[in-house]
Chains A and B, each alone.
Chain A
C-alpha cells in the first residue's frame, strides 16, 4: 500500500538524449506539503528532471510515479493536477495579463466563471491587479515571472513545479518572488523547485538534494547538509594576486578541517573563524581582507563536487 502522502516517487530515474545522459539514475520522494529543492549548477540535470515530472518528457529508464499515476500513460490526467512555472517565460505576448490567465485556465477545461474568480484572487496575490488589462510584453522581468506563477496556480494544483524561479531577475525582484513563494509554502502548497542559488535553496526548501552531473550527491534539510558536509564557520582570506599561491601554501599550515583554494580567495573550514584568523596571523601572514562567516550550501556544494555552483 503506497503512502498517500508521497506525491512523487522516483527510483533510478534516467533521462538520455542520444549518447548524453542528462539524469543518471536518481531516487527521490516528494511528500505532501513540503518544499523540495534540486540544487545544482547549470547542466546538472535539474530541468530534465522537472520536465519528466511535468509529463512533457518521457523517462528513458527507471520508475517515476506522480500522484500515484504513470506519467507516460496518464500525462494529461497528471498535468491537470500540476502547476508548472518553466525556466523560460512562456507567457502569451499576443494576449493581455488577464487573458493569459483566462486562456491558460481554458487549457485546463475550467469554466470562464471559475477562471474569472480565481484570476482576481491570483492577480492580487502576485500584485498585478493594476496591470490586468495591459499587454504582457512591456512588463518587467519580475512581473512576468510573477504572472507565470499566477498562471501556474490557475488550476489550484496539488504540486507546484518551479524551474529556476528567480534566474535572470534583479535582486529586488527576486526577493518579491521569494516572498510570494514563501507565502504559498505557508498556505500548504507542495513545492518542487530547482535552483543554482544557494540562498534561494536555503530560504525556500525544507528538504533538498544536491545534484551534479545527473546524479544526486547528497540529500537533507539545508541545516542537515551544512552540518554533515561543512564546518560551523568559514574563514575567507584574500591576498594580493601575486602572493595568492604562496600564501595558500603557508595557510595550509594553520589548523583547519579543510582548505579550499579558489581563484580569488582561500577558504578555511573551521569551528572558530576568529581563532583561525589569529592562527593565520601567527604564521606571519597578513591578508588584504578577511571574513568570518557561517557555512552555506555553497560550501556543501564545493565540498561535494570540488566546484562552485555558479561555475556550472
Chain B
C-alpha cells in the first residue's frame, strides 16, 4: 500500500520533462529556503543577545555623531540644495549603513562559517534541499534580521522627529532592498573566500563606503571626479534613496538607485547559488 502511494507520488516526476524539473528551483530556490530560515530562527533563540546588539550599533552612532556633532554643525545642504538639520541628514544614512553592515555580516562571516566549518549546507544538501534554496534562505534570513533593525531604527527616528515626509513609509522596504543587494553580493563574495584573512577585503570595501558615501556630508564637498566615483558605490544608492524618502525630496531619479540595488542583489543571488553548487556538489 505504501509502495503504491510511493509510486503515485513519483508519477508527476516521470511525466514532466526532467530538464524542466531540474531547472525549476535550481535557479530560483524554492520552499526549502524557508526551512533554512526556520533553522536560523531556532539557532538564534539560543543566541538572542546577538540579535539585540545589532540594533544598538546604529543607534549609538546616531546619538554620538548625529546629536553630539549635530549641535556643532547645525544645518547642511541636503538633497536638491535644501538646508536640513545635521541629525536629519545623517540618520537615513546610518539606517542605510546599518542595513549594509547587517547584510554583509550575515552573508559573509556567518555564511563562511556555515559553509566551511559547521558543514551546515553539506547536511542540508543531503536532503531534497537545493543550492538555490540555501542561497535564497541565507539572503532571506539576512533580510528578516535587517528588517527588524530597520523598523526599530525608524521608530527611533520618528520619536526624535527626524522623519519629515510621508514618503518615509517606503524607508523600510528600501532598507530591505539595500539588505538584499548587499546580502546577495556578500554571499557571492563569500563563496570565493579562502580563509579568514580574506575578510579584510570585505572590511576594505565596506568601511570606506560607510565613511565616504555622503554619510556625514553632501556629495558637493568632493571635487567632480571623486563625485563620480562615490556616485557609483552601492551604499551611495541606498543613502540617496533613504535620505530622499525621509526628508521628502522624491523624484523619478530615485528609481535608478532602486534598479541598481535590485540588479546587484539578483546577480549576487544567482552567482551564490551557482558557486555553492560548484563548491559542495563536486
Q: Is the interface of B mostly helix, strand, loop or mixed?
A: helix
Q: Is B35 an interface residue (CB 8 A)?
A: yes
Q: Does B42 contact A (CB under 8 A)?
A: yes
Interface string of A92-106 (1 = CB under 8 A from B): 111100010011101
Asked if A232 is at the interface of the complex by the 8 Å CB criterion, the answer is no
Q: Does A70 count as interface, using CB distance less than 8 angstroms?
A: yes
Are A94 and B46 in contact (CB-based, < 8 A)? yes
Could you tell me the distance between the alpha carbons of A215 and B189 in the complex, rounded to whole angstroms? 39
* Residues of A with C-beta under 8 A to B47: 94
A94 CA / B35 CA spacing, docked (Å): 15
Are B35 and A86 interface neighbours, CB within 8 A? Answer: no
Binds A, one of B99-107, B124-132, B208-216, B246-254: B124-132
Q: Cα distance A80–B42 when bound, in Å?
A: 23
The chain B residue sitting closest to A155, CB to CB, is B127
9-residue interface stretch from A54-62, A181-189, A200-208, A218-226: A54-62
Q: Are B281 and A57 in contact (CB under 8 A)?
A: yes
1/0 contact trace for B95-132 toward A, CB 8 Å? 00000000000000000000000111011111111100
Interface residues of A in 46-94 (CB under 8 A from B): 54, 56-58, 69-70, 72-77, 79-80, 82, 84, 86, 88, 90-94
Contact A73 B42 (CB under 8 A): no
**Digit string of B121-164 for contact with A (CB within 8 Å is 1, else 0)?**
01111111110000000000000000000000000000000000
Are B126 and A84 in contact (CB-based, < 8 A)? yes
B42 touches A99 (CB 8 A): yes
Q: How far is the CA of A99 from the CA of B119 in the complex (A)?
A: 16
Which residues from B are CB-within-8-Å of A155? 127
**Once bound together, how far apart are the Cα atoms of A121 and B138, in whole Å?**
31
- From known contacts A95-B42, A103-B35, A109-B128, infer whether A58 and B281 are also in contact, taking CB-CB under 8 Å: yes
Is B127 a contact of A73 with CB atoms below 8 Å? no
Residues B127 and A94 in contact, CB atoms below 8 Å apart: no
**Smallest Cβ distance from B50 to chain A, in angstroms?**
11
Contacts of B229 in A (CB 8 A): none
A68 CB to closest chain B CB (Å) equals 8
Check if A17 sits within 8 Å of B282, measured CB to CB. yes
Give the Cβ gap from B166 to chain A, nearest Cβ, in Å.
41
Q: Check B19 for interface membership: any CB of A closer than 8 A.
A: yes
Interface 1/0s, chain A 21-52, versus B by CB < 8 A? 00000000000000000000000000000000
Name which residue of chain B comes closest to A81, CB basis. B6
Q: Are A54 and B126 in contact (CB under 8 A)?
A: yes
Q: Is A107 in contact with chain B by the CB < 8 A criterion?
A: yes
CB contact between B123 and one of A70, A75, A90, A99 (< 8 Å): that residue = A90
Cross-chain contact A109 with B35 (CB below 8 angstroms)? yes
Q: Chain A contacts of B130 at CB under 8 A?
A: 75-76
In this assembly, does B255 line the interface, its C-beta being within 8 Å of a C-beta of chain A?
Answer: no
B-chain residues with CB within 8 Å of residue A74 when the two chains form the complex: 13, 18, 21-22
A286 to B124, CA, bound (A): 59
Least CB distance from A13 to B in Å reads 16
Q: Whose C-beta in chain A lies nearest to the C-beta of B18?
A: A73
Which residues of the other chain, A, contact B35 by a CB distance below 8 angstroms? Answer: 103, 106-107, 109
Also in contact, A80 and B128, with CB within 8 A (given A74-B18, A99-B42, A106-B39): yes
A264 to B127 Cα, complex, angstroms: 46
Chain A residue with Cβ nearest B121: A90
**Is there contact, CB below 8 Å, between B31 and A109?**
yes
**Given B25, B118, B122, B129, which contacts A86 in the complex, CB threshold below 8 Å?**
B122
Please determine whether B128 and A56 come into contact, CB atoms closer than 8 angstroms.
Answer: no
Q: Are B128 and A103 within 8 A (Cβ)?
A: no
Q: Is A92 within 8 A of B118, CB to CB?
A: yes
Chosen A-B contacts, 22 in total, with CB atoms closer than 8 Å, are A57-B281, A70-B18, A73-B21, A74-B13, A74-B18, A76-B25, A76-B128, A77-B10, A79-B126, A80-B128, A90-B119, A90-B123, A90-B126, A92-B43, A92-B120, A92-B123, A95-B42, A99-B42, A104-B123, A107-B128, A109-B32, A109-B35
Footprint of A on B, CB under 8 Å? 10, 13, 18-19, 21-22, 25, 31-32, 35, 38-39, 42-43, 46-47, 118-120, 122-130, 280-282
Known: A79-B127, A94-B118, A135-B46. 6 other contacts (CB 8 A): A56-B126, A76-B25, A76-B128, A90-B123, A95-B46, A109-B31
